[in-house]
Amino acid sequence: MGINIGDIVRGKIIDFTHEGNGVLKIDNFTVFVNGGVIGDEVVGKIDKIKKNFAIGSLVNIIEPSKDRIKLDFNIIEAKGGIPLIEYKYSKQLEWKKNKVKMDLEKIGGLADVEVKDTIGMVYPFRYRNHVQIPVGEENGKTVIGFYEVNSNDIVDMDSSILQPEIGNRVINIVRIWMNKYNVKAYDKRNKKGILRHIGIRVNRDNKAMIILVTGSNRLPNEKELVKMLIEEDVISIYQNINKLNSSITYGKEYRKLYGEDRLLDYIGDYKFYLSPNSFFQVNRTQAEVLYNKVVEFLDSDKSDVIYDLYCGIGTISVYIASNVEKVYGIEIVKEAIEDAKENAALNNIDNTEFIVGKAEEVFPKLMKKGIKGNKVVLDPPRKGCEKEVLEAVVELNPEKVVYVSCNSTTMARDVKYLVENGYKVEEVQPVDMFPHTVHVESIILMTYCGMEDKK
């Protein structure tokens, strides 16, 4: 192979990687280049060479793709967070559908499954109700913004097209406060400085919870910052202490500085309390689309007993409870389970039971106790389900499994296991939760068809 570091290469982008880099084939060798969209004819410079691929940086776009769009606003934020922003939205939706299809085919071994068109957003901007924005320092100047693709460099920004307006104002307040009181960004390498990240959660009514992530217990001039923030619609402020030298944003310790303990938010007609560390779908509009699909796929009646595994703050449990006999929710985060219990009460729901613990431990135990269920919802984190969970699902033998996933790779792996154990994929529906990113949310309905039918 004749490619070396520093070489200039030219080619057409044919795909995106899971980080959002463009994929080029140069003499059958794969090169990843940041910044282009599928169909762009680009020139790139090779920066790194690995065994099976090379990584390059974009030098120039010689001929733009017919699917490249011109934005009518400035993107100041790093494209690392929104690598597809210049790719036509309808093409993004198509690419996501194909990604799910390819993963089911290649990883799941399911070549003949129909994948529905991705359900997109009417207005695919300002949808993120939770952002975690890194804070750093460059040449003595504070920088607040997202990371550039393939890099730890923060691109300074004063607004982001992904988050509601109030979030942009919060960034600017924090910047003014840091400059005024000479508060430095935290540096993981020498453990000096103060602020690591700004977490911003915004509810449907545009009220915000702010989480100031610091590298130690110190937060000098916090009273001044609180005073400045509450001039906006900020109703809750926490300090989160993260002393770890890792890429995890939030540490375990929270200290309330101001206001409400939790944020009240809504999906459809339901209300939910969110603690600062609870998982909540980042896109409220699309979460409603997704949960309505869960309801449709379950097609429940009053005799159903449903397991909602990885239930978070009980959003899906609450959404499906009114039409069934009972829902069991299992979730690892203790505070999320406390929220789930309150959320059920808040929505006048009394047929849910929430259990804290690892799904892979709690669920098999319930099984052994003889607690039955005829339908299961799985909504695991990116790494998918633990083998023990899937084994317990097979043992329970529910008539329906609804699998919700933000990672089609691990979803395909898990679906393969269920198919090998008597389940059939009935419907696959991608939902665009994360416009302009390469992330794909999808929901799959599986029914039990028996091992005999498989032969």
Ligand X SMILES: C[S@@+](CC[C@H](N)C(=O)[O-])C[C@H]1O[C@@H](n2cnc3c(N)ncnc32)[C@H](O)[C@@H]1O
Nearer to ligand X, 103 or 331 (CB): 331
CB 424, min distance to ligand X, A: 24
Do strands 29-33 and 41-49 pair parallel, antiparallel, or not at all (unpaired)?
Answer: unpaired
Amino acid at 347: N
Residue 310 is assigned to a ligand binding site: yes
Residue from the set 310, 328, 354, 434 that interacts with ligand X by CB under 6 A:
310
Residue 175: in which H helix or E strand, if any? helix 165-180
- In the bound complex, what is the minimum distance in angstroms from residue 122's beta carbon to ligand X? 22
Per CB under 6 A, the list member of 268, 364, 381, 422 interacting with ligand X is 381
CB of 162 to ligand X, least distance (A): 19
309: enclosing H helix or E strand? strand 305-309
Catalytic residues: 406
Q: How many Å apart are CA 165 and CA 440, to the nearest integer?
A: 25
Strand duo 253-259 + 263-267: pairing: unpaired
* Strand blocks (E) in 123-218: 130-138, 141-144, 195-202, 208-214
Instruction: Return the residue matching tokens 């000098």.
Output: 220
Going by DSSP bridges, is the β-strand pair 53-63/41-49 parallel, antiparallel, or unpaired?
antiparallel
| Least gap, CB of 332 to ligand X (angstroms) | 4
User: Which pairing describes strands 53-63 and 29-33: parallel, antiparallel, or unpaired?
Assistant: parallel
Please say which residue, 159 or 286, places its beta carbon nearer to ligand X.
Answer: 286
Cα 134 from chain centroid? 17
Least separation in angstroms between CB 406 and ligand X: 6
**Residue with the shortest CB distance to ligand X:** 312
- Distance from the Cα of residue 435 to its chain's centroid: 11
Question: Which span (12-20, 164-172, 223-231, 310-318) binds ligand X, by CB under 6 A?
Answer: 310-318
186/291 with CB nearer ligand X: 291
Coil, helix or strand at residue 262: coil
CB of 451 to ligand X, least distance (A): 28
| 286 marked as binding residue | no
- Determine if 312 is a binding residue for ligand X (CB under 6 A): yes
Beta strands in 366-418 (DSSP E): 375-378, 400-405
Rank residues 107 and 356 by Cβ distance to ligand X and give the closer one.
Answer: 356
What character string, x for contact with ligand X (CB under 6 A) and - otherwise, covers 262-301? -----------------xxx--------------------
Taking the least distance from each CB to ligand X, the nearer of 186 and 273 is 273
Query: Which letter, b or e, does each residue of 257-267 get, where b requires 16 or more Cβ atoms within 10 Å of its Cβ?
Result: bbbeebbbbeb
Question: Which x/- pattern over 394-413 shows residues binding ligand X (rule: CB under 6 A)?
Answer: ------------x-------
- Applying the rule CB under 6 A, the residues between 34 and 73 that interact with ligand X are none
Q: Are strands 270-274 and 195-202 parallel, antiparallel or unpaired?
A: unpaired
> Does residue 147 have a known ligand-binding role?
no
Name the segment binding ligand X (CB under 6 A); options: 182-190, 367-375, 379-387, 441-449.
379-387
Residue 331 marked ligand-binding: yes
Per-residue exposure over 315-346, b if at least 16 CB sit within 10 Å of its own CB, e if not: bbbbbbbeebeebbbbbbbebbbbbbbbbbeb
- Binding ligand X by CB under 6 A: which of 65, 92, 159, 315? 315
CA 313 to chain centre: 16
- Per CB under 6 A, which of residues 354..373 are in contact with ligand X? 358-360
What radius of gyration, in Å, describes the C-alpha atoms of the chain? 23
Interatomic CA distance for residues 76 and 61, integer angstroms: 20
Report the site for ligand X in 319-338 (rule: CB under 6 A).
330-333, 336
Interface pick for ligand X out of 311, 327, 349, 425 (rule CB under 6 A): 311
Q: For ligand X, which is the closer residue by CB, 259 or 312?
A: 312
Annotated binding site for S-adenosyl-L-methionine: 281, 310, 331, 379
Residues lying near ligand X in the complex (CB under 6 A) are found at: 279-281, 310-312, 315-316, 330-333, 336, 358-360, 379-381, 406
